[in-house]
Amino acid sequence: MKRALIILALLGAGAAALVFWLGLRSDPGDISMVSPLQTPAGLSVEERGHYLVRVGDCMACHTRQGGADYAGGRMIPTPFGDFYSPNLTPDPETGLGNWSADDFWKAMHEGRSRDGSLLYPAFPYTNYTKLSRDDSDAMFAYLRTLPAVKEARREHQLQFPYNYRFLLVGWRALFFRPGVYQPDSAQDEQWNRGAYLVQGLGHCSACHEARNALGAVQSRDNPAGGLVLNWYAPALAAPAEAGVQHWPKEDIVRLLRDGIAPGASTLGPMAEVVYESLQHASAQDLDAMATYLKSLEPTQPPARGAVQVPTHAVDDMSKRGSLIYAEHCASCHGDAGEGAPPAAPALRGNRAVTMAAAVNPIRVVLFGGYAPGTAGNPRPFGMPPFGSTLSNQDVADVLTYTRSAWGNQGSPVSAAEVARNRQGPLW
Amino acid sequence: MLRKSRFAALLGLLMLGSVATAAVPDTMAQRMLACAACHGAEGRATGDGFYPRIAGKPAGYLYHQLINFREGRRLNAQMTYLLERQSDDYLREMAEYFAGLSLPYPPPQPNQAEPARLQRGLQLVRQGDTARGIPACNDCHGEKMTGVTPDIPGLLGLPYDYLVAQFGAWRQGTRHGAAPDCMAAIVAKLTPEDIDAAASWLAAQPMPADPHPATSLPKPLPVSCGSVTGPGASR
């Protein structure tokens, strides 16, 4: 008996030691790995860094509306509370003024701040750990050239128990393994370049992969996309969602660069990614991302069972929805959902309309929206917001109709789900 | 024979129309349909009373408001969301499109303000309140109060609720102009009674026979305004 207790205690102590080791160990990283992102010769380190910071879209989180570039202060709502992004400008008091390139590397590669404290994974170091040391140094060199801006630091407003930073030790032990991207020798250079961009610098999985109850991305357990900033970021490998395995490569490039492509456009947070970041990516990098995305093994995300609409109600909803469609939608989207691109996309056979998670179509009907005004699409057409014209039930009815008419096979949408989406900030 | 072939051609056209996708014109009007949801058809406002008419307002003024929404100087989540990822050039084109629409105005809303209040409103509009450092509305917004191109908006043809909401937004800090924010400085001096009186009088006025903005002001502006960059900007 006593012996068993001793063994149990030893096992417990061993497990705790393992957790602490995994969560707190220092990892210098493989600094011999050279970035696959070879930029044109003649660029200075700072210029190269500027490009990388742009393609990594650091701006999206680290600039608040109306604030100075990269001075932080933007609120990022999550299920765990609201995060406020820190200041990346070289201000010594509130920014990175006292940081060295080593400190910056430690943040990007290991997710630890200059003082050693553990960073919350709202900062996607789980992706940035794949970056090479030379890329991290170039990004830091660029950030040093920014005007120093004093921007008071705002504390994160997190719920219990997430406000206890030391709990990240356990989180890291479970979900984080530092490691620079290792090229896949079975693939060519362009594919590896794309993988490095998508998995690392572009941190696409931060939005496009489902997170578990503890906020970790684990696509091998759950191939769904992610619910982020009140939008659904569709799964990049799923042909029923955002998979592009069967697209011509030039259409993928157009969607990433221009924000619009035949049969697809970007709205919400992805419109911001295109506008601030991807439209500035080089032709080679866009091609690399398209190459990699095309090669993803197709997945089938689980159907989301959240919609609670009794079967007997669906027929009536659809009937009412068809009348609302005829009154408000048909003049642009066509009597049979055939659309009039580029002004109004087809709704028939449009996976953005029919995908299991209905949140995006709900938000588009409520709040409308424009594709980003990029160099390739400088004067986009827009969808009017119907939030003040249509009731929750109206929106549920017209979407239930649209998702099942003309051969579409989407699930019904409930008024309760529409009501939930009237709240929250817009992106 | 000719008639027959014409008929056949017409029939062919009709049939073509029925299988082709919906015809949507490649115009600014089509691009700006999203605005009509709140601001009314062609931006001429609805009876709602909160969303303002935008048709016919001076282009510079509209452009500055679009920028203000995009940069967070005016707070309206729906407006910011729609404009956030559009270029300066496109916002300018939107402003010019709506500024160029010359559409009839409806008669003013029925107004229950008592004569004393309207009188006080008229006084503020025409003379301001020199003792309290409040300039007359006329001094900037034009003799006819229809605004001045390109940057100063007219104040007629707008509902009472919208006008009061704008004064309130300046007081609450949810509406700002480019610095120096002249209206913020003026609104800070107004009492709720002043605001009510001025808005009541303004909302009760019919549009003059020529509702277009003036092209110049007789005198320089009485205050410095960061939002006035065109002619008349110099103080």
A20-29, B106-115, B178-187, B194-203, range with the lowest pLDDT: A20-29
> Residue A307: which pLDDT band, with cuts at 50, 70 and 90?
low
Mean of pLDDT values over A325-334: 97
In a domain, A220, yes or no: no
Beta carbons of A289 and A202 less than 8 angstroms apart: yes
| Interchain CB distance below 8 Å, B21 and A381 | no
The rounded distance, in Å, linking the Cα atoms of B192 and B168 is 9
A356 token code pair? 């299991």
Amino acid at B78: Q
Q: Which residue has the tokens 């693939």?
A: A187
Mean of pLDDT values over B6-27: 55
| Interchain CB distance below 8 Å, A338 and B72 | no
The rounded distance, in Å, linking the Cα atoms of A50 and A232 is 29
Residue B197 touches partner A, C-beta closer than 8 Å: no
A389 token code pair? 């014209």
Q: Which residue has the tokens 């580029």?
A: A342
Task: Show the CA angle centred on residue A256, arms to residues A193 and A69, nearest 5°.
Answer: 90
The minimal CB distance from A373 to the residues B22, B32, B85 is found for B85
> Residue A310: which pLDDT band, with cuts at 50, 70 and 90?
confident
Containing domain of residue A48, as a range?
23-175
Q: Which residue of chain A is at minimal alpha-carbon distance from B30?
A: A381
Beta carbons of A62 and A88 less than 8 angstroms apart: yes
Q: Which of B180, B173, B188, B194 is nearest to B226 (CA)?
A: B180
- The string of pLDDT tens digits covering residues A348-380 is 999 999 999 999 999 999 999 999 999 999 999
Min Cα separation A254/chain B (Å): 17
In a domain, A347, yes or no: yes
Task: Show the CA angle centred on residue B4, arms to residues B3 and B8, nearest 5°.
Answer: 115
Interface test with A, best of B18, B19, B24 (most A CBs within 10 A): B24
- The string of pLDDT tens digits covering residues A143-164 is 999 999 999 989 999 999 999 9
For residue A118, list its beta bridge partners: A112
The rounded distance, in Å, linking the Cα atoms of A427 and B106 is 35
From A144, A160, A175, the end of a domain falls on A175
ipTM above 0.85, yes or no: yes
Mean of pLDDT values over A29-55: 90
Please give the domain boundaries of chain B with CATH numbers for all domains.
Answer: 31-204 (1.10.760.10)
Min Cα separation B46/chain A (Å): 12
The rounded distance, in Å, linking the Cα atoms of A361 and A404 is 13
The minimal CB distance from A370 to the residues B22, B36, B82 is found for B82
| Interchain CB distance below 8 Å, A339 and B84 | no
In a domain, A113, yes or no: yes
Mean of pLDDT values over B53-75: 95
- 3-state SS string over A379-411? CCCEECCCCCCCCHHHHHHHHHHHCCHHHCCCC
Average pLDDT, chain A: 93
The minimal CB distance from B77 to the residues A66, A373, A425 is found for A425
- The string of pLDDT tens digits covering residues B112-168 is 889 999 999 999 999 999 999 999 999 999 999 999 999 999 999 999 999 999 999
Residue B39, classified by CB atoms within 10 Å of its CB into exposed (0-12), middle (13-18) or buried (19+), is buried
Question: What pLDDT was estimated at residue B21?
Answer: 53
- The string of pLDDT tens digits covering residues A218-239 is 777 788 899 888 999 999 999 9
Beta carbons of B19 and A335 less than 8 angstroms apart: no
**pLDDT for residue B185 is more than 50:** yes
Question: How many angstroms separate the first and last alpha carbons of chain B?
Answer: 75
The minimal CB distance from B36 to the residues A373, A384, A425 is found for A384
Mean of pLDDT values over A22-34: 83
Q: Which of B157, B160, B186 is nearest to B171 (CA)?
A: B186
Residues of A in contact with B85 (CB under 8 A): 271-272, 274-276, 370, 372-373
From A124, A148, A175, the end of a domain falls on A175
In a domain, A262, yes or no: no
| Helix (H) or strand (E) run with residue A227 in it | strand A226-228
Residues of B in contact with A368 (CB under 8 A): 34, 37, 82
**CATH number assigned to the domain comprising residue A339:** 1.10.760.10
Q: Which residue has the tokens 């042909």?
A: A239
Q: Domain count of chain A?
A: 2
Q: Which residue has the tokens 């051969």?
A: A407
Task: Show the CA angle centred on residue A176, arms to residues A245 and A46, nearest 5°.
Answer: 75
In a domain, A206, yes or no: no
Interchain CB contacts (distance < 8 Å): A and B: 93
- State whether residue B147 is helix, strand or coil: strand
Interface test with B, best of A381, A422, A423 (most B CBs within 10 A): A381
| Interchain CB distance below 8 Å, B37 and A385 | yes
Question: What pLDDT was estimated at residue A305?
Answer: 56
Cα-based distances in Å from A15 to A11, A21, A178 = 6, 10, 20
Whether the bond into A36 is cis, omega within 30 of 0: no
Beta carbons of A312 and A300 less than 8 angstroms apart: no
In a domain, A169, yes or no: yes
**Would you tell me how many other CB atoms lie within 10 Å of the CB of residue B67?**
18
From A147, A175, A203, the end of a domain falls on A175
In a domain, A278, yes or no: no
In a domain, A139, yes or no: yes
The rounded distance, in Å, linking the Cα atoms of B12 and A407 is 28
